Structure 1
Amino acid sequence: MNFEQSIFPLTEFLIDNKFSITKKEQYFIKYSTNSVVITIAYVNLEHLFYIHVGQNSKSLIELTPISIKEVFEDDNFRLQSSLTIDNLISFLKGIGKCLLLGDKKIFKALNEFSESQVTKYTKQIIQSQNIKAADKAWGQKDYVAFIKCIDRTEKELLAESYLKKYRIAVNKLQK
């Protein structure tokens, strides 16, 4: 894959929209204006482009089909795991034009979405860790530890079997 060739249409489009290239490496390019930064990185191993946008280099947020769907209410890329260069150009010519213009509200919305995704992911990891610890405690018949682990989970997300085990553990400790 020739990175230069694949991003050429995007480079042309962004230069026409007053962007300049401010950093360029083998599989990475950074486009900037006074109020917007767009970076494109290509990962050979995955054969994917990673696209980030922000008001400056410190506030970059990954632009994905999910973020476009949620923030821009644009479902055009719903069946894709990542964006292609053509997808990005199409998006920026349409509903995503506000990004090129540095619309602070849209960057704020993207940032809030990104933070909510991080929070959601963190909760999933913690839930998974607590369930794993509960399974280990149950296997060792350590009902006190099992109850503590289950108490740290979001119980409404648990399988019914954990709630039954929880009741069993409570009953065993009350005897």
Structure 2
Amino acid sequence: MEFNTLVKTHLSPILQKYGFTIAEEIKNIVRFQSSVMKVNLVFNDYDKSHLVEIGRRGETLYPLNDNAVVELWGYSALPIEQVTSKVFVQNLSLFFETKEGVELLKGNVSLLKSILSQESENYTSELMQNQVLEAASKAWEAKDYLAFVDSIDKIGFSKIPQSYQLKYKIAKQKL
């Protein structure tokens, strides 16, 4: 079944209960809105991926991903990423009928916003740590022990892998 047809068949009845109507529909995109909220559902035919964004009207829309569903609902058996369109729509339908899903549809996006903010912070922190460890590795190879120690100190000794902890101790002795 075509994506838009799946969405209208399975999700429209649920969303209509909470005052949503279809605001726009084009191939593989259905946008719903209520007096308070917006929900965008998208299917990317190129990589066969799905996107659902939800947020208050006139404000930022937040992507609802597998991690957010698990955090909001505490249940990981309803994936919405990397699944077929049928499974995506079915699992989203199930989620929107839970207490947590209804809260989102009614406009309470604070928990979703918090989850995504934490996810972003974790990603950025991990990225920065990897960059610092790369710089530390280069400093170690160049026998620049001061730069190595400075790099590790930026992260914190307890947060680095054990192999770097050993190198850190050696570098401190050489200084």
Per-residue deviation, 1:80: 6.3
Count of aligned positions: 170
Over 3 Å counting, the alpha-carbon distance change for 1:78 and 1:133 in structure 2 is: same
Deviation digits for residues 4-28 of structure 1, max 9, x if unmatched?
2232222344235421222333332
Report the counterpart of residue 87 of structure 1 in structure 2: 91
Pairing 1:130–2:132 present: yes
In the other structure, the counterpart of 1:69 is 70
Name stretches of at least 5 consecutive residues in structure 2 with no aligned partner. none
Partner Cα separation in structure 2 for residue 127 and residue 70 of structure 1: 25
Would the aligned equivalents of 1:65 and 1:81 in 2 still touch at CA under 8 Å? no
Give the C-alpha shift of residue 151 in structure 1: 1.0
Percent identical among aligned pairs is 25
Alpha-carbon separation, structure 1, partners of 2:80 and 2:34: 31
Give the TM-score, by structure 2 length. 0.85
- C-alpha offsets along residues 31-61 of structure 1, whole Å, 9 cap, x if unaligned? 1001111111112233121111111253211
For CA contacts below 8 A with separation 6 or more, give which structure has more relative contact order: 2
> Is the CA contact 2:81–2:88 (under 8 Å) kept in the aligned structure 1?
no
Task: Report which stretch shifted further, 54-63 or 29-38.
Answer: 54-63
Alpha-carbon separation, structure 2, partners of 1:92 and 1:28 = 18
Which stretches in structure 1 are left out of the alignment for 5+ residues? none
Change (3 A) 1:151 1:113: same
* 157-166 vs 82-91, greater mean Cα deviation: 82-91
Alignment check: 8 A CA contact 1:39 1:53 kept:
yes
- Which deviates more from structure 2 when the two are superposed, residues 65-74 or residues 138-147? 65-74
Contact 2:79 2:88 in 1 (8 A): no
Structure 1 length normalisation: TM-score? 0.85
- Which sits farther off after the overlay, 12-21 or 34-43? 12-21
Task: Work out whether 1:99 is the aligned partner of 2:104.
Answer: yes
Does the 8 A contact of 2:4 with 2:29 survive in 1? no
2: CA distance, partners of 1:79 / 1:53: 14
